[in-house]
């Protein structure tokens, strides 16, 4: 039976580390600040933004929320980002996605200063991750690496299969794994004989957005299984991309949904904002 990787407990360790560093900086007169912009009234986005605000308050970061109406124009949003790029109190700028369809997501993301882009979505930060010279990485893949590290799972020399090639998880995940000397395969909807490829893996990262997609017959005995998916079933329950009940009987380690990768995302956002503040002060 697999050992459960407890994302809640590990995210709390990361948050405690951030809180301690933020306190040390405040004793030198240095503050750490995050600005979150939400456009419109998407309920899921509102929950995420509230959670980010609570985390900032708990860890001693300055938190600023900009709640804009769903009719906000590209120009209005770009003007706000321009001001925040120049605001000394703000170290991280996060635009909550998805944006209303009339807004140009790519234009908006690219307008955030790379130094304050704590989601690490700006092309400049994507390029830095590619070459391994980065200050921070996207929060979810960075959270996966933290889960593995804090669970004493060494990825060096291991065969890692990532199922899903999104710009937010799959692609950056592959780079972070490569930087830690894993041998990486990225699978997607066009992969031939997906089952066989996944079965080779010492570490499987599932980020495909399909409930219970990864089944026990796809998993090698003793593999480490990280479930990034979060899907809501018809009965209202949350489940991941991995069939937890089946796979947990074969894996050595597994993350649950909820309570696995999810809590790490906000913890890593806090860590990225701290890293941005430290870089600004050459610390």
pLDDT tens digits for 191-212? 999 999 999 999 999 999 999 9
More confident residue, 42 or 278: 278
Cα 126 to the chain's mean position, in Å? 14
To the nearest whole percent, how much of the chain has pLDDT over 90?
96
Question: What average pLDDT does the structure give for the chain?
Answer: 97
**CB neighbourhood size of 30 (10 A):** 15
To the nearest whole percent, how much of the chain has pLDDT over 70?
100
3-state DSSP call for residue 200?
coil
Residue 119 known to be catalytic: yes
Residue 171 known to be catalytic: no
Residues 6+ apart with CB under 8 A from 156: 180, 181, 182
Q: Read off the pLDDT of each residue in 64-79 and give the average, rounded to a whole number.
A: 97
Above 90 in pLDDT, residue 12?
Answer: yes
Catalytic residue among 15, 96, 116, 117: 96
Catalytic residue among 52, 116, 158, 271: 52
Q: What residue ranges define each of the domains in the chain, with the CATH number in brackets?
A: 29-113 (3.40.50.10860), 139-262 (3.40.50.720)
3-state DSSP call for residue 68?
strand
Lookup: tokens for 200: 């080779």
pLDDT of residue 44: 87
Q: Of 218, 153, 145, 208, which Cα lies nearest the Cα of 175?
A: 145
The radius of gyration computed from the CA coordinates of the chain, to the nearest angstrom, equals: 19
Q: Read off the pLDDT of each residue in 171-191 and give the average, rounded to a whole number.
A: 97
Tokens 């209202």 belong to residue: 236
Burial class, 40, CB count within 10 angstroms (exposed 0-12 / middle 13-18 / buried 19+): middle
Q: Note the pTM of the prediction, 2 decimals.
A: 0.95
Asked if 201 and 159 touch (Cβ cutoff 8 Å), the reply is yes
pLDDT of residue 240: 96
* Strand-pair partners of 254: 4, 225
Name the H helices within 60-207.
74-85, 105-111, 123-131, 139-150, 170-179, 194-199
Catalytic residue among 15, 91, 116, 119: 119
Q: Which helix (H) or strand (E) holds 64?
A: strand 62-68
Q: What is the DSSP letter of 242?
A: B
């Amino acid at each position: 039976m697999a050992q459960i990787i407890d994302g809640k407990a590990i995210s709390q360790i990361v948050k405690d580390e951030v809180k301690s560093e933020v306190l040390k900086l405040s004793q030198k007169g240095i503050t750490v600040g995050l600005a979150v912009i939400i456009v419109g009234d998407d309920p899921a986005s509102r929950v995420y933004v509230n959670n980010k605000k609570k985390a900032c308050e708990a860890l001693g970061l300055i938190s600023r929320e900009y709640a804009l109406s769903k009719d906000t124009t590209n120009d209005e949003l770009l003007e706000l980002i321009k001001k925040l790029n120049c605001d000394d109190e703000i170290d991280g700028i996060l635009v909550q996605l998805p944006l209303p369809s009339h807004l140009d997501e790519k234009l908006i993301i690219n307008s955030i200063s790379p130094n304050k882009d704590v989601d690490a979505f700006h092309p400049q930060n994507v390029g830095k991750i590619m070459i391994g010279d980065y200050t921070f990485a996207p929060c979810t893949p960075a959270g996966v690496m933290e889960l593995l590290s804090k669970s004493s799972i060494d990825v060096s020399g291991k065969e890692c299969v990532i199922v899903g090639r999104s710009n937010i998880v799959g692609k950056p995940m592959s780079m972070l794994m490569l930087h830690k000397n894993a041998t990486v395969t990225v699978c997607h909807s066009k992969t031939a004989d997906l089952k066989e490829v996944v079965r080779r893996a010492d570490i499987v990262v599932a980020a495909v957005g399909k409930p219970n997609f990864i089944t026990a017959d796809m998993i090698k005995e003793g593999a480490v299984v990280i479930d990034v998916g979060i899907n809501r079933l018809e009965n209202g329950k949350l489940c991941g991309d991995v069939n937890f009940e089946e796979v947990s009987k074969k894996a050595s380690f597994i993350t649950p949904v909820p309570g696995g990768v999810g809590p790490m995302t906000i913890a890593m956002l806090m860590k990225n904002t701290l890293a941005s503040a430290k870089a600004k002060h050459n610390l």
